[in-house]
Amino acid sequence: MSTSDRLGLVDPADPALSIVAQCQLLKVARSTLYYRPLPIDPDDLAVMRQIDELYLAYPFYGSRRMTVVLGEDGWVVNRKRVRRLMRLMGLEAIYQKPNTSRRHPDHKVYPYLLRGLTINRPNQVWCADITYIPMTKGFVYLVAVMDWFSRRVLSWRLSLGMETDFCVEALREAMERHGRPEIFNTDQGVKFTSAAFLDELSGQGVRISMDGKGRFLDNIFIERLWRSLKYEEVFIKAYGSVIGARRGIDAWLTFYNEKRPHQALGYRTPHAVFEGLACGHVDNAPASLRCAPALPTCPQAHRQEKEVNMY
């Protein structure tokens, strides 16, 4: 049970137990019960949105380079502020980090299982990721579960904080509605290495795969989804409330799944490919869908091959 859930059990009008006693029994700090978060500075929100746009275009920019680029665009910021906001947004530069073998002692990390694997059917591999969604006042976090073969978004959830619960809820909904995958791939974020999330997968007999540290290309398809969502929907709407964000994202994801043709799928929609409506059973799919290069699991290797052929 999360801290917020336990705080919800505190009854100030209880005649038998004081608030102090209830907090002690629930093992929560009494100060947490009275805490009211301060509204976020509108200037910080504007900088965070600009950082988000820059990060989508240049995911290898760290706080130093991000500070320089923001300054060139007219933003008065220092590195300390940029670093704080990037940490709040859950963003960090993509690069190979030292000492990547060091893990949290309570969180097991699994190897990456998709390298060289031919993915040729729905429900063979699913993936998930979390992204930051800016609003006019404040922001929320979005998690989505995607089928790797068809690129269909199977479920999603919005949350005001980075708790594990909303990730587990999205995973449960996807498996309840669409069965279970053979392999589930995520990054090494703390929400996806938590016991609550991993237990849901292992309990269903799903093989768990995780990206290498700092290798965003290992989960490139859902990273590409975030880019499309933000440039086609989020950045041009400027949601005024969480309800508005939920409605807008729901409408766009429905459009993405059911109406937006996907080039890598032979201009079919993710829904049609996942359900087999456009090409029958996936074993009888046209060559554009059966061909392994059309569904690469190593985009970086595919890119290097293209660059070699250019010269």
Helix (H) or strand (E) holding 239: none
Tell me: pLDDT of 88 over 60: yes
Task: Write the class of the CATH domain 125-301.
Answer: alpha beta
pLDDT of residue 126: 95
Tell me: pLDDT of 286 over 50: no
* Mean pLDDT, rounded, for 291-310: 43
Q: pLDDT tens digit string along 45-58?
A: 999 999 999 988 88
The SS3 call for residue 154 is: strand
DSSP designation for 230:
I
CA distance 52 to 55: 5
Bridge partners of 146, per DSSP, are: 127, 153
Contact 265, 149 (CB under 8 A): no
Contact 116, 297 (CB under 8 A): yes
Q: Band of the pLDDT at 311, cuts 50, 70, 90?
A: very low
DSSP designation for 277:
T
Tell me: pLDDT of 125 over 70: yes
Tell me: pLDDT of 194 over 90: no
Question: Which DSSP string corresponds to 71-128?
Answer: HHTT----HHHHHHHHHHHT----SPPS-TT---TT---PPP--TT----STTSEEEE
Tell me: pLDDT of 96 over 70: no
Query: What type of residue is 236?
Result: I
Question: Going by C-beta distance under 8 Å and a sequence separation of 6 or more, which residues neighbour residue 267?
Answer: 261
Tell me if the pTM is above 0.75.
no
Lowest mean pLDDT: which of 29-33, 46-50, 171-175, 244-248? 29-33
Longest dimension (CA), the chain: 80
Per-domain residue ranges of the chain? 3-34, 42-89, 125-301
pLDDT of residue 106: 62
